[in-house]
């Protein structure tokens, strides 16, 4: 009987550790998601600036100085 209780105790400990690790991974995933959103917003701004720059270059070429 004691060995059965020991096995149950070990399995419960493993289960608790697994849930704790899942909790930590969930926190890290949320952090990475926030970083990805931040990078995407900067990239969208950069794309807009690049489009404006290309348009300005085309306008400059048409000036025929």
DSSP codes joined into one string, 17-42: HHHHHHHHHHHHHHHHHHHHHHHHHH
Q: What is the pTM of this model?
A: 0.62
Question: For 5-30, how does the pLDDT look when each residue is reduced to its tens digit (9 = 90+)?
Answer: 999 999 999 999 999 999 999 999 99
Give residue 65's pLDDT band: very low, low, confident or very high (50, 70, 90): low
Question: For 24-62, how does the pLDDT look when each residue is reduced to its tens digit (9 = 90+)?
Answer: 999 999 999 999 999 888 777 677 888 898 898 988 888
Distance CA 56, CA 65 (A): 15
């Amino acid at each position: 009987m004691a060995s059965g209780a020991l096995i149950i105790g070990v399995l419960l400990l493993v289960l608790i550790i697994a849930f704790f690790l899942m909790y930590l991974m969930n926190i890290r995933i949320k952090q990475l998601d926030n970083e990805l959103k931040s990078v995407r917003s900067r990239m969208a701004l950069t794309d807009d600036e690049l489009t404006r720059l290309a348009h300005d270059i085309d306008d400059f070429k048409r000036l025929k100085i």
